[in-house]
Amino acid sequence: MNHDIIDPRLLTAPHDPEIPQRVARLQALGLGNKPDPEFDAFAARLAEAAGAPYAMVNFIGEEEQYFAGLYGPSSTKADALEAAQSSSRATPGRTMSRSDGYCPHVVVRRKALVLDDVCAYPRFAVNPVVNSIGVRAYMGAPLIDRTGTALGTICVVSTQESNWGRPGLALIKSMAAEVEDLIHRREQR
């Protein structure tokens, strides 16, 4: 793909005015900076339910995304996913720049997103994860806490086109509600 003819605004994360509120909320909840076995188990269940090789529980910070829950097959593709993610302050393989991927769009829109073929959407086809990781399909839903803050997402990705469609949309929304409930129960403890 020739990036000289692509509008550079398509290559960045969307403007996100809620970042300061989100970062403060994530700190108050103790989320978004360490792996979480419950979220890892949830990501495995999500991947299986969606028939996808990768799934994440993702919290979005100021500069990066943190996968507190992460599931991926142990293969060359999993190594490629890990290599494409930054290893700045957190556990390697658990972070990615906020400008990469589709989760920042889901958080800003505050709506679930199903892309059965990311290449069919010019806005999403140019995302760096298409070439660096081989993402071909994406499905994600926002995690909105009791204060109304969009903390992050749950998502699945595949290296092949999918046919998730409307059933996938229903699945990702219902499973996001499960994680939101888990976060609320933890906060009440």
Which pLDDT band holds residue 75 (cuts at 50, 70, 90)? very low
Whole-structure pTM value: 0.84
The correct answer on CATH 3.30.450.40 for the domain covering 3-188 is: yes
pLDDT tens string 20-42? 999 999 999 999 999 999 999 99
Provide the residue ranges of all domains of the chain, joining segments of one domain with +: 3-188
CB atoms within 10 A of CB 189: 4
Which residues lie below 8 Å from residue 112, measured CB to CB, with a gap of 6+? 106, 139, 140, 141, 142, 169, 172, 173, 176
Pairing label, strands 54-60, 150-158:
antiparallel
pLDDT tens string 156-188? 999 999 999 999 999 999 999 999 999 999 999
pLDDT tens string 98-156? 888 889 999 999 999 999 999 898 888 787 777 777 788 999 999 999 999 999 999 99
Closest to 130 (Cα-Cα) out of 101, 162, 105: 101
